[in-house]
Structure 1
Amino acid sequence: MASRLELPAIQIDSGMDRSLNRLAPFFQSLATANQSALLLDFDGTLAPMRVDPSKVRPWAGVVRLLQEIQESGRTRLSIITGRSANEVVLQLGMRDAPEIWGLHGAERLSVDGSWVREELPASDQSLLEAARLRVRIALPDARVEEKRNGVVVHWRGKPVRFIQSIQSRALNALLPFTNTNGVRLLQFDGGIELRIGCDKGDAVRMILAEIPSTAPVAYLGDDVTDEDAFQALNGRGLTVLVRRNWRPSVAQAWLRPPAELREFLTAWLRAAKSVYNS
């Protein structure tokens, strides 16, 4: 029997109807499982937020832990992000890139390099093009990100006196497009996004369909866009909010990065390397 697992210092907020006792059985099951899955958001979870997204890099020590977890051979490692999959490959900087679900699950870059994506019908593409044009006209002073399945207005790093104006104009520009089925308007930490198609919950459900029903699974995320993933996994696996400051969430536990995130990954690695005999 391997030595006793050292568990991370998970924080539980009084608003979460959960117990620390949940984690010991989870890591024990991980130590005895042949297969498991660790699902992770990127920005804000594995890496600190930056005004310039091109400068985002993972917290110190995280890449090494992820690499070792992947090399253990017992964990399916998946990044589920709002960014494009290819962009995250470069910024994550792992020696062997894991599976990456980009654009909230609309893209899937597998470890073998194969790539698939969700195709939007012509009507949705036309709606997005109209939304992009509306935003360019209404918000010439904001950073606007045009994705294949959405349009994003960012105000992170803007002076406080400008944020309310940008937010108001963004809502006025984008709300009219939400009358169409399948179109969602989501405000996140530092911006707002009009998106069509997949969300992170869809990516989680597709992964769950591909792994044994008994495999331990966890999802770690920070922002409101991760709530879809938490909801998809609750009742089946462990969901963890990763933020320095707590916010209301359906997640079961709360970690403060980077130290507690590293502790969690270290505990996962220790369990993945353990060999328990029944």
Structure 2
Amino acid sequence: MRTLPKLLPDRSALFLDFDGTLADLAQRPDAVQIPPTLVALLNSLQERLDGALALITGRAREDLEPMLASPWPWPAAFEHGGVRLSYQGHATTARPEGLSRAIAAAQHLVERHGGLLLERKQTSMALHYRLAPSLETLCLSTMKRAVAGSPDLQLLHGKAVLEVKPTRVSKGSAIEAFMKEAPFAGRVPVFAGDDVTDEAGFAVVQRLGGECIKVGEGSTRARHRCPNPEALRTWLADSLLTTHNTEP
């Protein structure tokens, strides 16, 4: 596996995960700290790429807007692609059958055990056990039973989190949809992510001839890696500055 590419290509379509990629992970999702220069960096990258930048995240839009920007300024796929906001501002939503049952099972765990946190979203849910790692096996078995027999639901096991989302959507399908639309179409996709939920995006991007960056440790199909979000942010900023400095 190679380190980061030397520069971000000018004709890139840039896709970025949020937690663990742009921002460091925290014990709770609402405790994530936003670097003070992050919003300006994203705006500058979007301008340089003629709009071809999108966030691809498991977060709900309602969670990220208070932390980053309101009204929301960038194309994005929220909830692993269950909610997608195009460059033109059009939103699409896919709520799966059986989600309420999965949410009820997770809520039952939260009420009985301390240290668990449930995120309810429009098209998905996330059960966090970072503060109670000894409950991982119980949480996993409970959520497996909750989605059993529901073909519209997929259970994902991430970093101290179990997420239930629509089977027919993923970060990969969201990126593929963006790549068929302006201003992303005809560009080389570049996607950075840190978790198992990003692997579907890596598969699509590399099939389309693009480049993928794994942030942090762990097995991956991505061809590039960097150690942490700070290193990725530095690379993005350096790519922006280097390109601007070399323009006539």
Calculate the TM-score normalised by the size of structure 1: 0.75
The residue that corresponds to 2:84 in the other structure is 108
Within 5 Å, give how 1:181-196 maps onto structure 2: 181-196=151-166
Q: Tell me how far apart the structure 1 counterparts of residues 180 and 242 of structure 2 sit (CA, whole Å).
A: 24
The structure 1 segments of at least 4 consecutive aligned residues displaced by more than 6 Å after TM superposition are 274-277
Q: 1:128 to 1:94 in 2, by over 3 A?
A: closer
Q: Tell me how far apart the structure 1 counterparts of residues 163 and 221 of structure 2 sit (CA, whole Å).
A: 21
User: Which of 20, 23, 30 in structure 1 is aligned with 2:5?
Assistant: 23
The residue that corresponds to 1:178 in the other structure is 148
Cα offset, 1:275, TM superposition: 7.2
Q: Which has the larger radius of gyration?
A: 1
Letter in 1 for 2:173: D
Within 5 Å, give how 1:189-208 maps onto structure 2: 189-197=159-167, 198-208=169-179
Note the residue ranges of structure 2 that are not aligned, 5 or more in a row. none
User: Which of 11, 16, 26 in structure 2 is aligned with 1:40?
Assistant: 16
Letter in 1 for 2:56: I
> What root-mean-square deviation, in Å, do the aligned CA atoms of Structure 1 and Structure 2 show?
2.7
The residue that corresponds to 1:7 in the other structure is none
Q: Deviations over 1:184-232 (max 9, x none)?
A: 111111111222241111111111222333x122101111111111111
Within 5 Å, give how 1:232-243 maps onto structure 2: 232-235=204-207, 236-243=209-216
The residue that corresponds to 1:134 in the other structure is 105
Q: 1:129 to 1:82 in 2, by over 3 A?
A: same
Cα offset, 1:100, TM superposition: 1.7
Letter in 1 for 2:191: Y
Letter in 2 for 1:255: C
The residue that corresponds to 1:227 in the other structure is 199
Note the residue ranges of structure 1 that are not aligned, 5 or more in a row. 1-15
Seq. identity, %:
25
Q: Is the 8 A contact 2:95 2:166 kept in 1?
A: no
Q: Is the 8 A contact 2:79 2:165 kept in 1?
A: no
Q: Is the 8 A contact 2:86 2:178 kept in 1?
A: no
The residue that corresponds to 2:50 in the other structure is 74
Q: Is the 8 A contact 1:220 1:239 kept in 2?
A: yes
Q: Is the 8 A contact 1:41 1:222 kept in 2?
A: yes
